[in-house]
Structure 1
Amino acid sequence: MPHTPPPSFGIMTAPMQVGYHDILRVWREADAIPEIEHAWLFDHLMPIGGDPDGPAHEGWTLLSALAAHTRRLRLGVMVTSNRFRPPAMLAKIATTVDIVSGGRLDFGIGVGSRPHPPAARREYAAHGLPFHDTAHAVESLAEACTLIRQLWTEEKPFDFHGTHHRLTGAFGNPKPVQRPHPPILIGGRSSATLRVAAAHADLWNIPGGDLDDAVRRSALLDRYCAGIGRDPAAITRSIHLPVSYDEPAATRDAIREAVGAGFGHIVLGLPAPYPDGVARWAADELIGAPAR
């Protein structure tokens, strides 16, 4: 019987309706707690919850700052909107963060916001960004994954002539610390996105809330992997679970169920405002409890 590694646990601090120093406090605390192995931000330019005019920090800039103030945590954006930045520019940004962090980046990427929640749609018009249809967005994501990997690994300049992205004399220098490249995490649940994940992902993430659906989507990912001759076990299954400070038992139950369903990468969404000692609390009340 194949050995199943123990699950890894991380935290998510959505950088909206909260200050930089509050997030920094939580990440630095988590960095000293071995039970917490990874930490994540999201990628929205305006709040998608709470006060619509409240603060929202840009994810990759913030991630680089947090990388410089931590030493152990793996870190990433869950997940980068491929709609926001040209992929070659994103490859350069991600390489810089991998270097700043000393090789701790997990590169999260996805199609980008759908029309729901509506609060996520407004950020495109507000920043002068186009919002193409889903088919265009998924094709663009697949091309982006291909060319980002090339920029991370090719040792000589190259041209890329895709349907949605065209590069001439493309070259990435310096390269990421991690070789051949940082792990790629693709987030999403649509069948089209799962096909991209089957081809490109080292990890696949889905939001929690409906575990039966997550299990069905994971099985579909298995089938897509088999269809292209890839071992489905090569893709770690990741799930984001919202945390309740008032009802930790419900979160513990959700963790147990997700791990039992084959999700080995657990991301605990910590709502703001963050209580003092929240990372230690998560390790003791949420991570340690199901492991005992």
Structure 2
Amino acid sequence: MTGLLTSARGPSFGIMTAPSQVAYQDVLRVWREADRIPQIEHAWLFDHLMPLGGDPNGPTFEGWTLLSALAAQTERLRLGVMVTSNRFRPPAMLAKIAATVDVVSGGRLEFGIGAGSRPDVTQARREYEAHGLPFHDAAHAVESLAEACTIVRRLWTETEPFDFKGDHHRLTGAFCSPKPVQRPHPPIVIGGQATPTLRVVAEHADRWNMPGGSTDVAIARNTKLDQLCAEIGRDPAEITRSIVLSASYDRPDDTRHAIRAALDSGFSHIVLGLGAPYPTKVARWVADTFIAPFADKN
């Protein structure tokens, strides 16, 4: 079995509600509804501090704070941030935050992380300057991500304090308590498509997320990940393939075609991005319109 094959258990479907240009009660309404619909297995937020579209001064909630609130308000959904910017928080602090959310959720966290926004995304770049955060080049960001994955995993699994001396992160007496509920640790989901990031995926990820894009690009990146796994002697089938697709309210056939193409290309973890404002009973509509047609075909 290779990474291009669909999971033996069949595909899993989830939703993403970007916590921007929306009210908390609107996001909560959708997640509570989805929590009652078994076909929707997971739900996600994104990690930006300012809007990427619409009113540039509109509301955007901090992803991990909101995720913890939603974890306390749901019972079944697996949940996460797709994906956390490693540029925003020191990795040891992020490990503590994520462990807390896993405890609050009763062991439902999917730990999403990535290198952070690309330098050419103007709307994203401004949030770093606005919050006093450094914005290093891509090479620095990917190297930092690799160290962060090592640090987070060690904090979640090691029973004694340890020191860490990397090129980008230094820790003395690092320790995380309480540990996450999940053993050995929550699944690590790494998002991105550049080859340097895929090398980090090959080494550290339980799941890889392709952040949208054309089917042809997704297939090419999927194949590249298989090659990188082979280079380090890892079975590519150990890494579930995930993709974010837009859930079109006006052109549902387009979304269904995109889902079919993704499944045929080996992406068995489908995240459907919902645009705001969210229609009434949107989670039920997503399940009936986009998930049900594939339930008996894989």
Q: Could you state the TM-score of these two structures normalised by the residue count of structure 1? A: 0.98
- Cα distance between partner residues in 2 of 1:144 and 1:247: 40
Is 1:272 matched up with 2:258? Answer: no
Give the structure 1 partner of residue 10 of structure 2: 6
Give the structure 2 partner of residue 193 of structure 1: 197
Identify the match of residue 77 of structure 1 among 76, 81, 89: 81
Deviations 1:212-255 (A, max 9, x none): 10111011100111111100000000000011101111101110
Give the structure 2 partner of residue 169 of structure 1: 173
**Runs of 4+ displaced beyond 6 Å:** none
Give the structure 2 partner of residue 91 of structure 1: 95
Is 1:37 matched up with 2:29? Answer: no
Residue identity in the other structure for 1:115: P
CA deviation after TM superposition for structure 1 residue 130, in Å: 0.1
Give the structure 2 partner of residue 52 of structure 1: 56
CA deviation after TM superposition for structure 1 residue 291, in Å: 3.0
Cα RMSD between the aligned structures? 1.0
Asked whether the 8 Å contact 1:241–1:266 carries over to 2, the reply is yes
Asked whether the 8 Å contact 1:48–1:117 carries over to 2, the reply is no
Q: How does 1:222-241 map to 2 (within 5 A)?
A: 222-241=226-245
Identify the match of residue 160 of structure 2 among 156, 161, 165: 156
Identify the match of residue 121 of structure 2 among 117, 120, 124: 117
Q: Which has the higher contact order (CA 8 A, sep 6+)?
A: 2
CA deviation after TM superposition for structure 1 residue 195, in Å: 0.0
* SS of aligned partner of 1:37: strand
Q: Percent identity?
A: 73
- Unmatched 5+ stretches in structure 2: none
* SS of aligned partner of 1:209: coil
Give the structure 1 partner of residue 143 of structure 2: 139
Residue identity in the other structure for 1:135: A
* SS of aligned partner of 1:168: strand
CA deviation after TM superposition for structure 1 residue 115, in Å: 1.9
1:209–1:135 distance in 2 versus 1, CA, 3 Å:
closer
CA deviation after TM superposition for structure 1 residue 109, in Å: 0.1
- Cα distance between partner residues in 2 of 1:135 and 1:261: 29
